[in-house]
Amino acid sequence: MTFIWVALGASVGAPLRFLVDRVIQTRHDTVFPWGTLTANLTGCLVLGFLVAAATQLPPAVEATLGTGLCGALTTYSTFSYETLRLIEDGARFYAVAYLAASIAGGFGAVGLGWTLGAWLAG
């Protein structure tokens, strides 16, 4: 049954990632991948929150939102590809900035989510 919950979450997370990427990226006239960065940082925030609040959540909710939604919303493969593409296109500054923002921002978003989840879980 857990598989069904994960698939349900992923069926929302993947289209959501696509929409976030398109909406954000069309607002920026740059090669910097703002859309993927936004989707990944949002997923980190939500996952940090869910992990901290897991003791208060039913396992089905944790599987649906944590593994399913966040797993499909975030994307390491696209992050890796876009970093490589920036390097190949000669946009080395953007590649390094994207790498730094993704790693530092990801840790920060997980930490913030964790803090909020722990605070709300009591």
Its pTM stands at: 0.93
Structural domain count, the chain: 1
| Residue 120 one-letter amino acid | L
Residue ranges making up the domain that contains 22: 2-121
1 three-class SS: coil
User: Residue 122 above 90 pLDDT?
Assistant: no
The tens digit of pLDDT for each residue in 37-69 reads 999 999 999 999 999 998 888 999 999 999 999
> Which residue in 86, 48, 82 sits closest to 65, CA to CA?
48
Tokens representing 115?
A: 């803090």
The counts of H helices and E strands in the chain are 6, 0
